[in-house]
C-alpha cells in the first residue's frame, strides 16, 4: 500500500505510525506541513487553508501547513484544545542530502508537558500525573515539568486519589492503559485531563530521583511518569527534583467538594480566582511565592509546632513594618528562579532569561542583609538558608550585556572583554565597516559624485552604486561593472572584494563563536540548578510569610491559639472574602462558641440571612490558622482539625448523570463515613432535595448519628424547625439562629447569630424581596394564615384544590379482623422511646392505613 506514495510521503507515514495520537508537524523547508487526517482536522481547529498535493497515489493528499517561525502560536492552540503535537525536524542539510532528507521527531508537546506559552500561568503549577493501581491501593505521582517538582502519595480508594488529582489541577494523566471505560470516563469528567499511555516502568534509570520513595507502587508510577517525560521531550531533564513522598494524614484533608464549596482557590460560578480565598491572600511578590501559597492552601498543616513556627515568623514580620515593606520591594526584583532553572535544563533558555537570573541573584545579598536586621530566630534561620550563588552571579555579570537580544544565534549577547578571540573578530568586523565608510568618502571626493554610495546585499556582497546620470564622471576602467539596474549601475573593485571577505568571515565567525560561548555558559549554569531550586524554595517561603503579615495587618486579623480539648471560641469572627468585597463596616461579625461538651450547632433562620456565610467563615478561619496565617476575628481559640467536610449549596453532576439530591447524599455519606471527632462538618439544608418527611427524617438521622457516633464539631443549618427540639434529647447539640426583624410588613436581616431557635422562617418576605408578583405574595400570605390557623388538622385534596375541614369525615366501621390488626400494631410501639419526629411519622402512617381501608380520599 505504501509503495504507491512518493519516498517523502512514505517517510511521513513511517514517522506518523509512531505518533498516532498526535498531530505530526513535518518540517518541509520553511513550513511545518500536515497530511491526510491531520490536515483535515488541523485546518478546522486552526482555521487555516486546506490544500492538497500529489503524493504518488491516484488521489491527491490533503495538506495544510504553518510557517516554522510562527508555529508556536498554532501549537498552543492545538494543546489548548486537548491535543498533542509531535515536532518532526530535518536532521541534515538539504544540499548534502542524498535522496529524501533525514527527519525525526525531536519533541512531543502535550497538555501536561508545555514549558511556555499562554497555557502556563505565572502563579500556578502545571502538573501532569501518573495514576497507578494495585489491588485496593492507588498511587499518584504529580510532576510540574516547568519547575521540576514531583510529589507522590498512596490512597486507599479510587475517589480519594481522584480528589487529589483534581486538587493538583492535572492537565494530563499517564496510565498503563488497563483502566475500565467507566474509570476513564470519571477521570476525564472530573479532571478534564488528557489520558495518555506509557508502558515502560523500569526503575533503574531513575533510581537517583526515587531514593525517597519506599512504596513499590509509588516507585512504579513515578518511573512510568519519568519515562513518559523523557520519551516525549527527548532530552536530558536535569532540573527534575527527587520525588517527594507525602502522607495525606500529615495534612488537613479537604476533599474536592469541600474545596469547591468553600471557594478556596476558585469561585463556584466563574471558576476564576477573584472572590476566592487565594485571591484575598495573594499579596506575594514573586511567581514562585504565588505557587507556594496555593500549595499551602490546598494542604493546611496538622503539626502544631510547624503551624506556630509560621505564625511566629508572621508575628515577627508584623512587628517590623519598615523592614517588611523594604522586603516586599526587593522581592519584586526576583524573577521566577524555579522556571528559569527549568528552562536552562530544557535547553530553551535565552540570554535575556540569564540576565533575569543574574538580576535575581543580585537581590539575594540585599534580602539576606535585610532579614539579618530583624530580631527573631526563625527569620534569622531563613536568612542563613539564602544562597546567593556568588560564582554564578559573577560569571553571568562578566559574560552578558545588560540588554541582550532574544535570539541566541545572531550575536550581540556577550560582553567585550569576556573572550579574546571574540574581541578580535569584533575588532575586525568593526574596523572593516569603518574602512568601508572611509572608502565611500574617498571615492566621492575622487570622482566628484556626491550621491555615490557603498551598499551591501546577501547576493552580491559589498558594491559601489552610481546613478546613471553620473556615470560620465567615472574614468574608464576605474571600477568593474557588477550589475545594471534601471536607474543605476553597481561596481566592485579588487580591494573592496578583499575587504568584504575579511568582514564577512569575521561576522560569521563572530556569531558562531558567540553562540558557542553562550552554549557553554548555559551548560555552566546547569551545574547550579539544584542550588537555584533550594534558593527558590526559601525565597518562596519568605514571600508567602511576608504576604500573610501584610494581609493580617491590613485586614485586622489576630493570631489564633490552639486548644487541646477541642474547644472552639471565635469572637467576632468574619468571612474574610465577603468582608473585602463589601464595605468592611457593613459586615456583621459573629461568635462561634463550641466547648468540649458542645459539638453541634443547629442553625435556623430565614434564607439570605447569612447562615451559609457564618458556616463558611468558621471553616475558612480554621484553614487560615492551619496554614500559618492570622485569622479574621477579635479572638480565636481553635482545635486543630484533621478534616473539613462541607455540604453547602447543590448542583447536578451532569457528567455522571446524578441529580442534585444524589450529589447531596453522596457528599453527606463521604463526610459521615470518613469524619472523626477531630473533624469539622458543615451541613447546609440537608434533605431539601426530597419530600418534606423524607428530608426531615434524613436530617434527624444524620444529626443523631454524628452526635452519638462521630462527635465531630458540626454546624448544621436547617429549615425544619421541628428539629430544634433535638437539643432536649441530644446533650451536645445547641440551637442558634440568625436574627431577622419585621418592619412595616417587610423583613430586615440582622445577620447576627444568637442562641435559641428561630421563631419564623420569613419565606414569603424573602419571595417578596425577590420581586415575585404582588398577587402571588398576597395569595401565599392568605394560604399561610389558613395553614397556621388549622395546622393541627389533616388536609385533603378536593377536586385538585388544597382544602381543610374542621371535623374528620365519619369512618366506616372496621371489620373485627382489621381492627384487631390495628390494635396489635399500636400495642407494638414503645412511645416513650420514640423521638417526636418518629411519633409523628408513625401516626401519619397509621392514619393513612385507616383511610385506605375505609376508602377516604387523600
- Which residues make up each annotated binding site for ATP? 605-612
Interior CA angle at 711 toward 706 and 713, to 5°? 95
**Contact, 619 vs 571, CB < 8 A?**
no
Q: What is the DSSP letter of 558?
A: B
Dist CA 244 CA 213 (whole Å):
7
What are the counts of helices (DSSP H) followed by strands (DSSP E) for the chain? 26, 29
Cell, residue 494: 579588487
Give the annotated binding-site residues: 605-612
Q: Is 731 strand, coil or helix?
A: coil
**Contact, 26 vs 88, CB < 8 A?**
yes
Residue found under cell 466547648: 595
End-to-end CA distance of the chain: 77
**Contact, 581 vs 562, CB < 8 A?**
no
Dist CA 73 CA 69 (whole Å):
10
Bridge partners (DSSP) listed for residue 24: 86
Ordered alpha helix ranges (H), 563-608 = 576-581
Half-sphere exposure at residue 618, Cβ-oriented, CA atoms within 13 angstroms: 30
Residue 692 CB neighbours (<10 A): 12
Half-sphere exposure at residue 304, Cβ-oriented, CA atoms within 13 angstroms: 9
Cell, residue 191: 479532571
Dist CA 848 CA 842 (whole Å):
10
CA distances to 52, 64, 74, 235, 310 from 71, rounded to whole Å, are 20, 13, 5, 21, 46
Cell, residue 830: 414503645
Cell, residue 328: 516586599
Dist CA 804 CA 802 (whole Å):
7
Nearest partner of 351 among 411, 391, 392, 393, judged by Cα? 411
CA distances to 644, 719, 783 from 610, rounded to whole Å, are 20, 13, 27
Residues whose CB falls within 8 Å of the CB of residue 59, separated by 6 or more in sequence, listed in order: none
Amino acid at each position: 500500500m505504501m509503495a504507491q506514495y512518493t519516498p517523502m510521503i512514505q517517510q511521513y507515514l513511517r514517522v506518523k505510525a509512531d505518533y498516532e495520537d498526535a498531530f505530526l508537524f513535518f518540517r518541509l523547508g520553511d513550513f511545518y506541513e500536515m497530511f491526510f487526517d491531520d490536515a483535515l482536522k488541523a485546518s478546522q481547529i486552526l482555521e487555516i487553508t486546506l490544500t492538497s498535493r500529489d503524493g504518488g497515489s491516484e488521489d491527491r493528499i490533503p495538506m495544510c501547513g504553518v510557517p516554522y517561525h510562527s508555529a508556536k502560536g498554532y501549537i498552543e492552540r492545538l494543546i489548548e484544545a486537548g491535543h498533542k503535537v509531535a515536532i518532526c525536524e530535518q536532521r541534515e542539510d538539504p544540499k548534502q542530502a542524498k535522496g529524501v532528507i533525514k527527519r525525526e521527531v525531536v519533541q512531543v508537546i502535550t497538555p501536561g508537558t508545555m514549558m511556555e506559552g499562554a497555557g502556563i500561568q505565572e502563579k500556578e503549577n502545571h502538573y501532569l500525573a501518573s495514576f497507578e493501581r494495585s489491588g485496593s491501593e492507588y498511587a499518584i505521582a504529580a510532576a510540574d515539568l516547568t519547575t521540576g517538582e514531583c510529589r507522590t502519595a498512596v490512597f486507599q480508594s479510587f475517589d480519594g486519589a481522584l480528589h487529589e488529582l483534581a486538587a493538583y489541577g492535572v492537565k494530563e494523566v499517564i496510565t498503563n492503559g488497563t483502566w475500565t471505560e467507566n474509570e476513564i470516563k470519571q477521570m476525564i469528567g472530573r479532571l478534564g485531563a488528557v489520558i495518555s499511555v506509557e508502558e515502560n516502568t523500569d526503575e533503574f534509570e531513575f533510581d537517583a530521583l526515587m531514593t525517597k520513595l519506599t512504596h513499590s507502587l509509588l516507585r512504579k508510577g513515578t518511573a512510568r511518569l519519568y519515562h513518559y517525560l523523557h520519551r516525549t521531550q527527548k532530552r536530558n531533564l536535569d532540573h527534575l527534583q527527587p520525588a517527594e513522598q507525602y502522607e495525606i494524614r500529615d495534612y488537613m484533608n479537604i476533599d474536592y467538594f469541600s474545596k469547591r464549596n468553600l471557594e478556596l482557590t476558585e469561585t463556584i460560578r466563574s471558576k476564576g480566582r477573584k472572590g476566592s480565598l487565594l485571591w484575598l491572600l495573594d499579596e506575594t511578590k514573586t511567581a514562585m511565592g504565588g505557587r507556594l501559597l496555593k500549595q499551602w492552601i490546598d494542604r493546611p498543616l496538622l503539626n502544631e509546632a510547624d503551624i506556630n513556627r509560621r505564625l511566629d515568623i508572621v508575628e515577627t514580620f508584623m512587628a517590623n513594618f519598615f523592614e517588611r515593606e523594604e522586603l516586599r520591594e526587593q522581592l519584586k526584583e526576583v524573577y521566577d528562579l524555579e522556571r528559569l532553572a527549568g528552562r536552562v535544563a530544557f535547553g530553551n533558555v535565552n540570554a535575556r532569561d540569564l540576565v533575569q537570573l543574574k538580576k535575581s541573584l543580585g537581590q539575594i545579598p540585599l534580602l539576606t542583609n535585610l532579614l539579618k536586621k530583624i530580631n527573631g530566630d526563625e527569620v534569622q534561620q531563613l536568612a542563613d538558608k539564602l544562597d546567593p550563588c556568588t560564582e554564578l552571579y559573577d560569571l553571568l555579570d562578566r559574560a552578558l550585556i545588560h540588554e541582550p537580544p532574544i535570539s541566541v544565534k545572531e550575536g550581540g549577547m556577550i560582553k567585550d572583554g569576556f573572550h579574546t578571540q571574540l574581541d578580535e573578530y569584533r575588532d575586525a568586523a568593526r574596523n572593516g565597516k569603518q574602512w568601508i565608510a572611509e572608502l565611500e568618502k574617498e571615492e566621492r571626493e575622487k570622482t566628484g559624485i556626491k550621491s555615490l554610495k557603498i551598499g551591501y546585499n546577501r547576493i552580491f556582497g559589498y558594491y559601489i552604486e552610481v546613478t546613471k546620470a553620473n556615470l560620465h564622471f567615472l574614468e574608464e576602467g576605474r571600477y568593474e561593472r557588477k550589475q545594471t539596474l534601471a536607474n543605476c549601475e553597481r561596481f566592485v573593485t579588487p580591494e573592496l572584494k578583499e575587504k568584504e571577505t575579511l568582514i564577512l568571515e569575521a561576522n560569521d565567525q563572530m556569531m558562531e563563536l558567540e553562540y558557542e560561548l553562550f552554549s557553554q555558559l548555559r551548560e555552566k549554569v546547569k551545574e547550579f540548578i539544584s542550588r537555584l531550586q533550594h534558593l527558590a524554595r526559601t525565597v518562596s517561603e519568605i514571600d508567602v510569610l511576608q504576604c500573610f503579615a501584610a494581609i493580617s495587618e491590613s485586614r485586622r486579623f489576630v493570631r489564633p491559639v490552639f486548644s487541646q480539648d477541642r474547644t472552639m471560641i471565635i469572637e467576632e469572627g468574619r468571612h474574610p472574602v465577603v468582608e473585602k468585597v463589601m464595605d468592611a463596616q457593613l459586615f456583621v461579625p459573629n461568635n462561634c462558641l463550641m466547648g468540649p461538651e458542645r459539638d453541634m450547632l443547629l442553625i435556623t433562620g430565614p434564607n439570605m440571612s447569612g447562615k451559609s456565610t457564618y458556616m463558611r467563615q468558621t471553616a475558612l478561619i480554621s484553614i487560615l490558622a492551619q496554614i500559618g496565617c492570622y485569622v479574621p476575628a477579635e479572638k480565636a481559640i481553635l482545635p486543630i482539625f484533621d478534616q473539613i467536610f462541607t455540604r453547602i449549596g447543590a448542583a447536578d453532576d451532569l457528567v455522571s448523570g446524578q441529580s442534585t439530591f444524589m450529589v447531596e447524599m453522596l457528599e453527606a455519606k463521604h463526610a459521615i463515613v470518613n469524619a472523626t471527632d477531630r473533624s469539622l462538618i458543615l451541613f447546609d439544608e440537608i434533605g431539601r432535595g426530597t419530600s418534606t418527611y423524607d428530608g426531615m427524617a434524613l436530617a434527624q438521622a444524620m444529626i443523631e448519628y454524628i452526635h452519638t457516633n462521630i462527635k465531630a464539631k458540626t454546624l448544621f443549618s436547617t429549615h425544619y424547625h421541628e428539629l430544634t427540639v433535638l437539643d432536649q434529647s441530644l446533650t451536645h447539640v445547641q440551637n442558634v439562629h440568625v436574627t431577622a426583624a419585621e418592619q412595616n410588613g417587610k423583613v430586615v436581616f440582622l445577620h447576627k447569630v444568637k442562641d435559641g431557635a428561630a421563631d419564623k422562617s420569613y419565606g414569603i418576605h424573602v419571595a417578596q424581596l425577590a420581586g415575585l408578583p404582588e398577587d402571588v405574595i398576597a395569595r401565599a400570605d392568605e394560604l399561610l394564615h389558613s395553614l397556621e390557623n388549622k395546622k393541627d388538622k389533616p388536609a385533603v385534596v378536593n377536586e385538585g384544590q388544597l382544602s381543610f375541614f374542621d371535623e374528620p369525615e365519619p369512618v366506616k366501621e372496621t371489620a373485627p379482623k382489621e381492627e384487631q390488626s390495628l390494635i396489635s400494631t399500636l400495642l407494638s410501639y414503645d412511645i416513650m422511646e420514640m423521638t417526636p419526629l418518629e411519633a409523628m411519622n408513625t401516626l401519619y402512617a397509621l392514619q393513612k392505613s385507616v383511610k385506605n381501608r375505609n376508602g377516604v380520599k387523600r
